[in-house]
Amino acid sequence: MSAVNASTKQQQYAQLQSMGVTIYTPLASITLASQPWLKDVCSLLNIEISDCIFDAIEPTFDVKRNKLHLPATSHANEQSLKKLIWQHIRPFVN
């Protein structure tokens, strides 16, 4: 029964998000270099993880040098952080 409740909860959460309702999620310090999804971000840009430099306040992509500049840590929730990164790299994704 808990699987059904979890599924319903996820569906409700997705519906609220699609309507623009933001659900509170606790903030925690996220170290970007240790995130498992960083490899996927790099593959979208056709770069290696070694091409990520953790020296920026906002995510930026240096097209000339093929380097992704990211903050070392973030206090945003993971979803907001991923959205912020996507907004900055989207123009460079093929």
Query: What are the residue ranges spanned by the domains of the chain?
Result: 25-92
Residue 71 is predicted with a pLDDT of 96
Structural tokens at position 69: 């500049």
Q: Which residues pair with 44 in a beta bridge?
A: none
SS3 68: strand
Residue 4 is predicted with a pLDDT of 67
C-alpha to C-alpha distance for 3 and 24, rounded to whole angstroms:
22
C-alpha to C-alpha distance for 55 and 57, rounded to whole angstroms:
7
Q: Is the model more confident about 21 or about 45? A: 45
Q: What is the pLDDT of residues 30-76, one digit of tens each?
A: 999 999 999 999 999 999 999 999 999 999 999 999 999 999 999 88
Which residues make Cβ contacts (< 8 Å) with residue 14, sequence separation at least 6?
Answer: none
Structural tokens at position 11: 């569906």
